[in-house]
Chain A
Amino acid sequence: MKPTATVVAADAGSLLAGKPARSDGITAFVARRRFVNSVAATIMFAAAASSIVITCGIVAILTFESATFFSHVSLLDFLTDTMWTPLFADAHFGILPLVAGTLVTTAVALFIALPMGTIIAVYLSEFAPHKVREVIKPATELLSAVPTVVYGYFALQFVTPALQHVVPDLPTFNMLSAGIVMGIMIIPYVSSLSEDALRAVPMLLREGSYGMGASRIQTAFKVVMPSAVSGMAAAYILGISRAIGETMIVAVAAGMQPNLTIDPRQPAETITAYIVQVSLGDLPHGSVGYQSIFAAGATLFLMTLAFNVLGHYLRKRFRH
């Protein structure tokens, strides 16, 4: 170590760090290192803490704007009114139609994504040869690389006309086609994570099962899957919260008319589509209509938060 020019800088550094500068070269060198280290650590801590700032920002904005919203609209009306017409002269603020739209499209999507994702995961983990898996897994993950607005276009321009041949009197905008396409989009979220969970099951269990004379399918469903259940549940929950929060597919293909129904063949508006609809127009900042998107957003946030917390809890169990 040759502390020549660096000593000056080091002394300055150690002074900044609040430590007495010494002429001793080594000490200065160590002090400088300490200083650099602590500066780096502080900067990186600030970066890590910024994620907390983001969360606080989300919660604060949603709470603040919803609070203003609920000073105009009673919470009871919000939860029980069956009409959502905040932009009409006769304004109603019942969130139920939007929640129904969200839940129906989510249900259709899950009806596709959960069985298919599970089958693909079991197939890739327990049946497919190694080489096939190495190709198929990244290929299915490409499904989640397609921008959702492109899926929306596909749902409206391809899937809906195709479905109209099968389902009579299907309107141009309907929850069925949006839900199906959303389901396909979610498949990789379910299949990849489930496959990881299945593969994490120790080989010994499989060998034991085969040793007892079980077939592949018995091993997969009666031995491997029960051991991977919490990991798979976490994958399902990720899929569910994706479906609830998905915006562009439903905004393009499911229509923008609030509609309290459980019939997936009908058009309806989801919470997310409503936020898009309002944002496309220009509502004045501070109006009740403007605040209503935050109240709708807060509802959405709480719905996904509940699922995320559940998922985190399951992942934690799965890791142990």
Chain B
Amino acid sequence: MDKQTAKIVARRKLEDRIFNALGIFCTLVALSTLALLLGDLLVTGLSRIDWQFLTSFPSRKAERSGILSSWVGSLVVMCVTGCTAVPLGIAAGVYMEEYGRKGRINTIIEVNIANLAGVPSIIYGLMALGIFVYYLGLGQSVLAGGLTLAVLILPIVIVSTREALRTVPVQIREAAYALGASKWQVISHHLLRYSLGGISTGVIIAISRAIGETAPLITIGALTFIAFLPTSPLAEPFPEHLTDWLHSPFAVLPIQMFNWTSRPTEDFHRNAAAAGIILIAVTLSLNAVAIFVRHRVRRHIKW
């Protein structure tokens, strides 16, 4: 190798090393922001989390406030969201993947879902305000809130169902048909069982997204200050109050956090940080569960 070439090679190698370092640097910046965010929340808010915080209603005094109504609110809203979005999303995903693969309607639905996934969440809130709250007259209730978030996460559930179904090899379908199974039997006995892991990953991610969602619920007018819990469905006399909780007003955890963040005093910001820790703990652990499920599925199913 003459001197000139050696020089060029050395320079190229240096460039490669510089870019490699740059890549590591950018990755670290992104990850350390996450670490910084977690650290800041923990330092500010961890000492605020105690039994009193979890079991108190919000109050005008920061040190007496708690997140009881908001975590219960988040829980019941998620029940409504999960019970509607999951069956609807899975059914839609199965239809698109197994029935209408090439039809024109399917193309329309497909383009439509791709578009829905890109619509900002606050637009869903406006739609829900117009339709659920006023047109259907549900008011600012748990039902309206749950349906709003269900509509929001529907595209995620549909897309992950389709992706999970697509990983089931065609031979499984062919073998089942060869044994005389009907289409519905192929779907319910085989495809859905094999793709259960993939679908649950998608569902968990979708729910974790819905828990942290704030804007559409503010838009439909969820309350920020609420000092009572929804009526228990089991309240006496028994069957009369079975569905009362659906029509109850509600607050959710992220809205409570937003409310505390926008107050001027320091002690409310501690409350906000504490609520943030709980919120982030829930969403990150749901994501961890999703990653775990995905890993397990990958390892255990070998076609």
Residues of A bordering B, CB below 8 Å: 33-34, 36-37, 40-41, 43-45, 47-52, 54-55, 57-58, 61-62, 64-65, 116, 119-120, 122-124, 127-128, 136, 138-140, 142-143, 145-154, 156-158, 184, 187-188, 215-218, 220, 238, 241, 244-248, 251-252, 272, 275-276, 279-280, 282, 285, 293-294, 297, 300-301, 304-305, 307-309, 311-312, 315
Closest CB of chain A to B217's CB: distance in Å?
A: 9
6 pairs, CB–CB < 8 Å, chain A vs chain B:
A48-B158, A50-B92, A123-B26, A146-B34, A150-B279, A279-B219
The stretch among B57-65, B118-126, B166-174, B230-238 that forms the contact with chain A is B118-126
Given that A123-B19, A123-B26, A149-B214 are known contacts, is A143 also in contact with B33, CB under 8 Å in the complex?
A: yes
Contact with A along B19-35 (1 / 0, CB 8 A): 11011101101110110
Q: Is the beta-carbon distance between A58 and B124 smaller than 8 angstroms?
A: yes
Q: Given contacts A33-B185, A55-B116, A245-B119, list 19 more A-B pairs with CB under 8 A.
A: A41-B183, A51-B92, A51-B113, A51-B155, A123-B19, A123-B24, A138-B291, A147-B283, A150-B41, A157-B44, A184-B30, A217-B12, A251-B258, A252-B262, A279-B218, A279-B219, A301-B120, A305-B119, A312-B111
From the candidates A62, A64, A276, A307, name the one contacting B118 in the complex (CB within 8 A): A307
The stretch among B46-54, B75-83, B127-135, B242-250 that forms the contact with chain A is B127-135
When distances are taken between beta carbons in the complex, the residues of chain B under 8 Å from A43 are 91
B254 at the interface (CB under 8 A from A): yes
When distances are taken between beta carbons in the complex, the residues of chain B under 8 Å from A55 are 112, 115-116
Closest CB of chain A to B226's CB: distance in Å?
A: 14
Q: Is the beta-carbon distance between B283 and A61 smaller than 8 angstroms?
A: no
When distances are taken between beta carbons in the complex, the residues of chain B under 8 Å from A305 are 115, 119
Q: Is the beta-carbon distance between A65 and B130 smaller than 8 angstroms?
A: yes
Q: Is the beta-carbon distance between A247 and B26 smaller than 8 angstroms?
A: no
Most chain-B Cβ atoms within 10 A of its Cβ — which of A151, A216, A241, A309?
Answer: A216
Q: Is the beta-carbon distance between B127 and A187 smaller than 8 angstroms?
A: no
Q: Is the beta-carbon distance between B111 and A304 smaller than 8 angstroms?
A: no
Closest CB of chain A to B120's CB: distance in Å?
A: 2
In the complex the two chains form, what is the Cα distance from A261 to B243 in whole Å?
50
When distances are taken between beta carbons in the complex, the residues of chain A under 8 Å from B16 are 127, 215-217
Given that A120-B23, A146-B37 are known contacts, is A54 also in contact with B116, CB under 8 Å in the complex?
A: yes
Q: Is the beta-carbon distance between A116 and B116 smaller than 8 angstroms?
A: no
Q: Is the beta-carbon distance between B284 and A150 smaller than 8 angstroms?
A: no
In the complex the two chains form, what is the Cα distance from A127 to B15 in whole Å?
12
**Residues B91-120 near A (CB distance < 8 A):** 91-92, 94-96, 99-100, 105-106, 108-109, 111-116, 118-120
When distances are taken between beta carbons in the complex, the residues of chain B under 8 Å from A49 are 105, 109
Closest CB of chain A to B95's CB: distance in Å?
A: 4
B165 at the interface (CB under 8 A from A): no
Closest CB of chain A to B294's CB: distance in Å?
A: 9
From the candidates A138, A218, A275, A282, name the one contacting B12 in the complex (CB within 8 A): A218
B67 at the interface (CB under 8 A from A): no
B251 at the interface (CB under 8 A from A): no
In the complex the two chains form, what is the Cα distance from A140 to B151 in whole Å?
27
Q: Is the beta-carbon distance between B92 and A139 smaller than 8 angstroms?
A: no
When distances are taken between beta carbons in the complex, the residues of chain B under 8 Å from A275 are 122, 125-126, 215, 219
Q: Is the beta-carbon distance between B100 and A45 smaller than 8 angstroms?
A: yes
Closest CB of chain B to A212's CB: distance in Å?
A: 13
B143 at the interface (CB under 8 A from A): no
Q: Is the beta-carbon distance between A150 and B280 smaller than 8 angstroms?
A: yes
In the complex the two chains form, what is the Cα distance from A213 to B31 in whole Å?
34
Using CB atoms, name the residue of chain B closest to A52: B112
Closest CB of chain B to A215's CB: distance in Å?
A: 4
Using CB atoms, name the residue of chain B closest to A125: B23
Q: Is the beta-carbon distance between B31 and A140 smaller than 8 angstroms?
A: yes
In the complex the two chains form, what is the Cα distance from A76 to B99 in whole Å?
48
When distances are taken between beta carbons in the complex, the residues of chain A under 8 Å from B19 are 122-123, 127, 216-217, 220
B154 at the interface (CB under 8 A from A): yes
**Residues B151-187 near A (CB distance < 8 A):** 151, 154-155, 158, 182-185, 187
